[in-house]
Amino acid sequence: MKDLVILGSTGSIGVQALEIVEANPSLFRVVAITSAGNNPNLIVDQAKRFKVRVIGVTKGADLIKSALPDATVIDGPDASTEIAAITSDVVLNGITGSIGLAPTLAALKVGNRVALANKESLVAGGDLVMSIAKTDQLLPVDSEHSALWQCLMGGSKREVSKLVLTASGGPFRERKDLSDITVVEALNHPTWSMGPVVTINSATLMNKGLEIIEAHYLFDMPYSQIEAVIHPQSVIHSMVQYVDGSTIAQASPPNMKGPISFAMNYPDRVKGATTPLDWSKSHTWSFEPIDNERFPAIDLARRCGELGGGLPAIFNAANEVCVAAFIEGKIGFTSIIETVEEVVQALGSKSAGSIRDLADVSAIENDARRIAQEHISKVAR
């Protein structure tokens, strides 16, 4: 039985992880959970249902303490970082945003295995994370990277020609005019059910840009050998092309329980984690190139990744600010990536050099957030 810590237990990844635990009580024991505190009733219910003794929240601690008098409640902005360092078999990082970087580093430093759904850990602090992570200590949860990880088991690294990430294309892949898109439309993803930030990132294809940077770090692959392609059905989660011309693809229904369970229980798979594809029925899968003019986030991500230094952190932090501004109705849909580009241009010359520690990342991100807010105030509706 594996002792499991879940960071972000009330989010989409955390909820599905707990469903896997509930279906497999002999495999996992949940020792700690954390939440941003936006849904205190849910985290109380989770703690009771799974007999969790340690709970971390950024707010709402008093309510949780009164509901769970025998539990240890850790509150404040560093709660997830503190809980990530609890000795366990697996820390599932399901936090959204670069605030997930510090918990990832804390878990790795004490030797915990990290099932990583927080791609921003690698985008904002990839060099830091990979300098600490040991072999098989950092396991991908994003469906695309889990797919690549599984496909890479089919050959040696020197035989790999290309990593190919698939993208659903979001709700606007066939829409020509993106200027008048509403928040409601952008949150209506055709394939996946995700949190608002990830859903907006999928709509702009920013998610795929972040995933290219993540793939670079996870698999130590140059950007020239990482591509992305539109696959609307979201059944092929990613592919690896080998030097002999063969391509190995990983296919499963478009849900996250397969990749979550594989990372949580590695090296063993969890029986029945997700419903398999029905091969007795007809299937039609299509692939098409990404229109980089309409969706410039991927090219911008690749450029930031290749230049390195603090640029990926700037790129991500500016996007987080812009997505929040779009959801609040302050800027239009196309202004998200336009503003990110402005911030990258403004701070590019200041981002050279290596990232030495978490303080470096925080300083760079603070600059990016400030410049993004200044730009938003100029173009706000």
- 43 near 11, Cβ under 8 Å? no
User: What average pLDDT does the segment 141-166 reach?
Assistant: 96
6 forms bridges with which residues in the sheet? 33, 92
308-381: which CATH topology? Rna Polymerase Sigma Factor; Chain: A (1.10.1740)
Measure Cα distances from 213 to 72, 217, 221, 236 in Å. 37, 7, 10, 20
Digit-coded pLDDT (tens) for 282-312: 999 999 999 999 999 999 999 999 999 999 9
**pLDDT top residue among 252 and 348:** 252
User: What does pLDDT average to over the chain?
Assistant: 93
Q: What pLDDT was estimated at residue 40?
A: 87
- 71 near 88, Cβ under 8 Å? no
User: What average pLDDT does the segment 205-217 reach?
Assistant: 96
- 358 near 101, Cβ under 8 Å? yes
Give the integer Cα–Cα distance in Å for 304 and 93.
Answer: 24
Digit-coded pLDDT (tens) for 222-238: 999 999 999 999 999 99
CATH class entry, domain 2-140: alpha beta
pLDDT of 364 strictly over 80: yes
Q: What pLDDT was estimated at residue 286?
A: 96
- Is residue 338 very low, low, confident or very high in pLDDT (cuts 50, 70, 90)? very high
pLDDT of 381 strictly over 70: no
Q: What pLDDT was estimated at residue 352?
A: 65
3-state SS record for the chain: CEEEEEECCCCHHHHHHHHHHHHCCCCEEEEEEEECCCCHHHHHHHHHHCCCCEEEECCCHHHHHHHCCCCEEEECCCHHHHHHCCCCCEEEECCCCHHHHHHHHHHHHCCCEEEECCCHHHHHHHHHHHHHCCCCCEEECCHHHHHHHHHHHHCCHHHEEEEEEEECCHHHCCCCCCCCCCHHHHCCCCCCCCCHHHHHHHHHCHHHHHHHHHHHHHHCCCHHHEEEEECCCCCEEEEEEECCCCEEEEECCCCCHHHHHHHHHCCCCCCCCCCCCCCCCCCCCCCECCCCCCCCHHHHHHHHHHHCCCHHHHHHHHHHHHHHHHHCCCCCCHHHHHHHHHHHHHHHHHCCCCCCCHHHHHHHHHHHHHHHHHHHHHHCC
Q: What pLDDT was estimated at residue 373?
A: 95
User: What average pLDDT does the segment 126-146 reach?
Assistant: 96
Give the integer Cα–Cα distance in Å for 215 and 372.
Answer: 26
User: What average pLDDT does the segment 205-213 reach?
Assistant: 96
- Is residue 334 very low, low, confident or very high in pLDDT (cuts 50, 70, 90)? very high
Digit-coded pLDDT (tens) for 69-81: 999 999 999 999 9
pTM for this prediction: 0.94
Digit-coded pLDDT (tens) for 19-63: 999 999 999 999 999 997 778 889 999 999 999 999 999 988 888
Q: What DSSP character marks residue 328?
A: T
Q: What pLDDT was estimated at residue 37?
A: 72
Residue intervals in the chain for CATH 3.40.50.720: 2-140
Digit-coded pLDDT (tens) for 81-124: 999 999 999 999 999 899 999 999 999 999 999 999 999 999 99
